[in-house]
Structure formats: C-alpha cells, structure tokens
Amino acid sequence: MQKPEKFDPLRRSVGHILDIIGEGWSILIIREAFLGTRRFEEFQGRLGIARNILTARLKKLCANEILVRVPVKEGAKRHEYRLTTKGRDLMPLLISLTQWGDKWVFGKDKEPLVFLDREHGEPIAPVEVYSARGEALRPRDVVVRAGPGAAPEARRRIEELNEHD
C-alpha cells in the first residue's frame, strides 16, 4: 500500500496524520484511551482486536508519541498505555469525527455515544471552526495559503488552487 505522504500532493499534515492514525484500529485505540482504557488486555477485550494487530498499532502510536507505555507501578513488569499531551490534543478531532458520524450515519436522536460537559452534565456543542475573532466559519470563508514549511511542490499546488478563486 502506498503511504499517504506519497500520494498527498501537499505532502503535509493530513497525509502524515493519516499515516499515523488513519488506519481504523488506531483511531479506535485512541478513542478507548480517551474513555479510560489503559491495559493491553482491556484494549483487546473492548475492541475485539487480534493481539498481533494491537501490538503493532500500540507500538506505532507510542513511536509517534500519541501514547506512552508506562509501568503499572514502579518496578512492575506490567505496563499500561496513556495518552500523551500530543495524544490528548486529538480530542477535537475525535469528537468532530464522532459528531459527523452521528449526524450523517446514525441521524438525530440515534447517537450511540454522546460527549457531555463533566461539570454541567450537558451535551457539548458541535465542533466548529472559528476565526481568530471568534466568528464561526463555513468552508467558503476559508482560503489556503502556503505556510513556512511548505515544500516548493506544495507552494505551486496552492498557487494553482488560489488562481481559481
């Protein structure tokens, strides 16, 4: 299978992220970690995933610093997996994917999982994109420009996109 960065013409964030978490089991492991799952056996039991696949995905998520493998207690041989700061920063993505699926796959009032504000016990608001001024943005309100890390090929592609505006 071709790696995402090989076919992503912009060769950046989305292709790289898909290489790390785009495989279905990986995002489910991350979801389970957000829900409090820590140990290998718990991930396996809750997801019904084969041991060899789970081992490979956990190694990849740890290698990419999404999860960290730590001893259950000092000196213990057993380990658990915890989200890193980098992993916890995936929360908006996980919630957004869940909300999109609830809307377009399951439909209103058929959501299998609802995220609540812990303090107030109320469902959280839909994830939206906002301007720096706090205004909700629609797709047509957003334009893409090459960033400081854009490769020459990506800069050309973005310029082509912007010529059609």
Q: What share of the chain is helix, strand, coil (3-state, %, to 5)?
A: 50, 10, 45
Q: Which of 89, 93, 82 is nearest to 27 (CA)?
A: 93
Is 138 part of a structural domain of the chain?
Answer: no
Mean pLDDT per 10-residue interval, the chain, length 165 residues: 52 75 91 97 97 97 97 89 98 94 92 93 95 95 89 85 74
Q: What is the pLDDT of residue 36?
A: 96
Total domains in the chain come to 1
Note whether residue 24 is domain-resident. yes
Using CA atoms, how far residue 42 sits from 2, 22, 124, 136, in Å, is 32, 22, 27, 39
pLDDT of 4 reads 47
3-state class (DSSP) for residue 129: coil
* In-domain check, residue 23: yes
Inter-residue contact 129 to 142 (CB < 8 Å): yes
User: Is 94 a domain residue?
Assistant: no
Within a domain: 31: yes
CATH number, position 55? 1.10.10.10
Which of 36, 40, 35 has the alpha carbon at shortest distance from 57? 40
- State residue 2's pLDDT score: 43
* Length of the chain counted residue by residue: 165
Residue at 74 is within a domain: yes
pLDDT at 144: 87
Give the residue carrying structure tokens 């740890």. 62
Domain limits for position 21: 1-89
151 domain residue, yes or no: no
72 within domain boundaries = yes
